[in-house]
Amino acid sequence: MQKRYNVGVIGATGMVGQRFCSLLANHPWFNVTALAASSRSAGKSYGELMEKRWQLAVPFPENLAELRLFDAEKDKEKLVPLVDFVFCAVDMPKAEIRALEDSYAKLNCPVVSNNSAHRGTPDVPMIVTELNADHAAVIPFQRKRLGTRRGFVAVKSNCSIQNYVPALFPLPDVQDVLVCTYQAISGAGKNFTTWPEMIDNLIPYIGGEEEKSEQEPHKIYGTVKDGVIQNADSPNFTAQCIRVPVSDGHFSAVFVRFAPGKKPTKEFILNAWENYRGPCDSLHLPSAPEKFLRYYPEDNMPQTKLCRDLDKGMAVHIGRLREDSQYDYRFVCLSHNTLLGAAGGAVLMAEQLCAQGYMD
Ligand code: NAP
């Protein structure tokens, strides 16, 4: 019989935290037993706090309404005994996030994080379960550094890379990638009520996003060696990231060049996407999509509104593969930024880590 785990959500009042709560409220493996946020929210019930702040189109999870929020920093000794591990998505300075996450890990409470603070830490795995689940093998080395029996930190990558890297990952010999991303406003923790300036507008700058979109893929493509993730040094990525007036769903236009003499046929690429199986497919994890990579032959697909929520918002939608006059091929990709790209992907990673025994 499947073991059930008690879990906490740190940052439960935020955009990603709300997604966590809606995904976890009726999860088959996880019971939400603790919620935390800043001192501003501490002591209040989740129902009271979210009465005017619930931002998702899905209903508020009423079974969490009575839980009283902890102060994530001051109350950790009270929170940790209530949970087997925590999810974390907070808006704080990076050094403070690293300190917060390490402090939970050192209390022997594993942390599954959506924050970027630890993405560059060499023994912290940055996992997209459908791609590099094997990076969890670095966890015992991190535990040794932290001096913990079971505590560790594992992180998600930035949401922007989770629409184009999955499409590139099954293709061998990729050398150069140029990508333009068109990113939804929920990626900034906003909707059209809280950010009316985005209606009928776009903003050609998202702080730090282009660097993350170019650098983070190298960790996903990396390998576990000598107790750390050794980043790959290819493919080369160059990115422009643009905020667009879309509620949810990050889109990208991708141009790809292969190593000299290694350009595959269009049929090879379509077959690689069609037949791609994630490394954890045989574990039948509850949040895994039925089909991770979905190619649409129609010229006007994939479309954000039509596709982002399909397959629990955990699939990657690809279209318009064609030859390019400067690169070898070009195509477009789409995925849900707060489901696959954030909370959904973190819940899937936690399921993977439970199935592999890292949460026991
Ligand atoms: P958000 O909506 O602004 O929510 C921020 C959360 O952080 C709130 O719960 C807030 O609690 C909490 N917080 C702020 N200061 C705190 C403190 N000192 N101690 C404890 N909790 C504190 O932000 P978000 O969009 O959910 O993003 C959260 C994190 O996820 C960020 O690091 C972001 O980069 C990352 N992320 C976001 C997305 C996305 O698509 N939105 C995707 C990937 C990753 P109060 O309500 O009490 O202030």
Each residue's pLDDT tens digit, 228-266: 999 999 999 999 999 999 999 999 999 999 999 999 999
Q: Is 159 a catalytic residue?
A: yes
Average pLDDT over residues 333-338: 96
One of 159, 241, 280, 307 is an active-site residue; which one? 159
Give the span between the Cα atoms of 55 and 50, in whole angstroms. 9
CATH number for the domain spanning 220: value is: 3.30.360.10
Range of the domain at 282: 161-335
Residues 251 and 207 in one domain: yes
Which residue of 91, 101, 349 sits with most ligand 1 atoms within 8 Å of its CB, as the best mutation to test the pocket?
Answer: 91
Residue (of 12, 27, 6, 335) closest to 157 by Cα position: 335
As a residue count, the chain comes to 360
Residues 326 and 350 in one domain: no
H helical segments located in the chain: 15-24, 46-50, 76-79, 94-106, 129-132, 139-146, 161-168, 209-220, 266-274, 304-307, 310-313, 344-355
Find the 13 Cα to ligand 1 centroid distance in Å.
Answer: 8
Average pLDDT over residues 318-329: 98
Closest C-alpha residue for ligand 1 atom 41? 187
Question: Residue 1: its pLDDT value, please?
Answer: 79
Q: Is 250 a catalytic residue?
A: yes
> Is residue 360 one of the residues assigned to a domain?
no
Find the 9 Cα to ligand 1 centroid distance in Å.
Answer: 11
Domains of the chain: total: 2
pLDDT above 90 as % of the chain: 98
Residue 102 dihedral angles phi and psi, to the nearest 5°: -65, -35
> Is residue 261 one of the residues assigned to a domain?
yes
Average pLDDT over residues 44-64: 95
Residue 79 vs residues 8, 68, 107, 343: alpha-carbon distances, Å = 8, 11, 10, 20
Residues 57 and 194 in one domain: no
Q: Are 216 and 161 in contact (CB under 8 A)?
A: yes
Residues 148 and 13 in one domain: yes
Q: Is the pLDDT of residue 157 over 90?
A: yes
Question: Residue 170: its pLDDT value, please?
Answer: 98
Q: Are 228 and 161 in contact (CB under 8 A)?
A: no
Question: Residue 2: its pLDDT value, please?
Answer: 84
Averaged pLDDT of the chain = 97
Question: Residue 213: its pLDDT value, please?
Answer: 97
Question: What sign has the CA pseudo-torsion 136, 140, 145, 146?
Answer: positive
Each residue's pLDDT tens digit, 58-99: 999 999 999 999 999 999 999 999 999 999 999 999 999 999
Residue 213 corresponds to which tokens in the numbers above?
């979109």
Question: Closest ligand 1 atom, CA of 16?
Answer: 26
Residues 126 and 261 in one domain: no
Angle among Cα 291, 296, 299 to the nearest 5 degrees reads 165
Q: Is the pLDDT of residue 337 over 90?
A: yes
Question: Residue 57: its pLDDT value, please?
Answer: 87
> Is residue 14 one of the residues assigned to a domain?
yes
Which residue of 9, 10, 15, 216 sits with most ligand 1 atoms within 8 Å of its CB, as the best mutation to test the pocket?
Answer: 15
> Is residue 94 one of the residues assigned to a domain?
yes
